[in-house]
């Protein structure tokens, strides 16, 4: 574990392994870099892997400048890569971290490839409305009500009945431990964002892996972005990279091998 100190925040990160292309891991909202433990362990024998806790999450400090949201996370990720000399990484984003990853991958020359883990490439109008209402309720909630609303949302959106009960319970509780003044602006930052436009701007090889509770239908990903590789794990909800890492790791490994072998786009298919 290391710490990048800046005027605005102290970011805790892990930098391990060697080999290319390097991997930059972007965790989801109310999550932590340690969720990537199985993926890091799998890839460090052959790749350099960097994972960091976003401001206000895990071991990182809260923001001294008071700024939160996915665009700030993009800035922090770029600053970290510059400091570490991490060049052309494969950007791996989980959940809301996938929106951060999309924006990084869409920046010309930054990434060599993109992997989205149960993230999304679009936020339909009905979901935008749901998020806006959720944020509005959190803004005026007492601390106790805030924690309970976050727990309910996590159970509804992130946990599959087949998930390990003890692990799922801890993940739900952890989501409610994120400070209210961190959580609210973080979720608010994606309301009204045209995620699909950013996804369409990504030109590097890309892999989308959905869970058993996908935020978007994988068939829609294929329809909107036919050149992307698309997969789906079996028997695990939103935290599939933690609950069934053998499935996720195998798909990411095969994707990277396909790209290295000169196949950067998925083959045409009748989805």
Per-residue pLDDT tens digits for 45-69: 999 999 999 999 989 999 999 899 9
Q: Answer whether residue 157 is part of any domain.
A: no
Identify the pLDDT of residue 1.
86
Q: Which of 27, 26, 30 is nearest to 155 (CA)?
A: 30
Strand order from edge to edge, sheet including 2-5: 2-5, 10-16, 49-52, 23-26, 90-94, 113-117, 206-210, 229-232
**CA-CA distances (angstroms) from residue 172 to 33, 57, 95, 144, 151?**
16, 15, 15, 15, 6
Segment holding 93, helix H or strand E: strand 90-94
Identify the pLDDT of residue 191.
87
Identify the pLDDT of residue 128.
84
Identify the pLDDT of residue 213.
85
Q: Answer whether residue 141 is part of any domain.
A: no
Identify the pLDDT of residue 199.
96
Query: Do 259 and 228 contact (CB within 8 A), yes or no?
Result: no
Q: Answer whether residue 223 is part of any domain.
A: yes
Residue 54 and residue 97: Cα distance in Å, rounded? 9
Identify the pLDDT of residue 156.
83
Identify the pLDDT of residue 9.
92
Rg (CA), the chain: 17
Q: Answer whether residue 67 is part of any domain.
A: yes
Identify the pLDDT of residue 255.
97
The predicted model scores a pTM of 0.92
Q: Answer whether residue 252 is part of any domain.
A: yes
Q: Answer whether residue 21 is part of any domain.
A: yes
Here the CATH number for the domain that contains residue 91 is 3.40.50.1820
Identify the pLDDT of residue 271.
61
Which regions of the chain are under pLDDT 70?
A: 269-271
Residue 203 and residue 250: Cα distance in Å, rounded? 23
Count of domains forming the chain: 1
Identify the pLDDT of residue 29.
85
Q: Answer whether residue 148 is part of any domain.
A: no
Q: Answer whether residue 174 is part of any domain.
A: no
- Residue 119: which domain range? 2-124+193-260
Identify the pLDDT of residue 133.
87
């Amino acid at each position: 574990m290391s710490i990048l100190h800046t005027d605005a925040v102290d970011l805790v990160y892990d930098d391990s392994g060697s080999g290319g292309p390097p991997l930059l891991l972007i965790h989801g909202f109310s999550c932590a870099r340690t969720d990537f433990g199985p993926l890091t362990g799998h890839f460090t024998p052959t790749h350099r892997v960097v994972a960091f806790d976003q401001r206000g999450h895990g071991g990182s400090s809260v923001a001294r400048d008071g700024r939160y949201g996915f665009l700030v996370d993009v800035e922090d990720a770029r600053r970290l890569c510059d400091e570490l000399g991490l060049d052309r990484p494969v950007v791996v984003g989980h959940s809301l971290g996938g929106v951060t990853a999309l924006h990084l991958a869409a920046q010309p020359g930054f990434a060599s490839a993109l992997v989205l883990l149960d993230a999304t490439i679009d936020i339909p109008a009905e979901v935008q409305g749901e998020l806006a209402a959720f944020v509005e309720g959190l803004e005026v909630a007492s601390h106790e009500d805030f924690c309970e609303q976050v727990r309910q949302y996590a159970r509804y959106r992130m946990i599959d009945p087949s998930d390990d009960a003890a692990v799922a319970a801890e993940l739900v509780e952890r989501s409610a431990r994120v400070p209210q003044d961190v959580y609210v602006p973080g979720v608010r930052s994606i309301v009204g964002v045209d995620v699909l436009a950013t996804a369409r701007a990504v030109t590097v090889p890309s892999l989308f892996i959905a869970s058993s509770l996908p935020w978007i239908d994988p068939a829609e990903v294929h329809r909107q972005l036919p050149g992307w590789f698309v997969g789906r794990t079996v028997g695990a909800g939103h935290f599939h990279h933690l609950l069934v890492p053998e499935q996720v790791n195998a798909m990411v490994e095969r994707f990277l091998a396909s790209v290295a072998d000169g196949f950067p786009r998925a083959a045409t298919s009748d989805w």
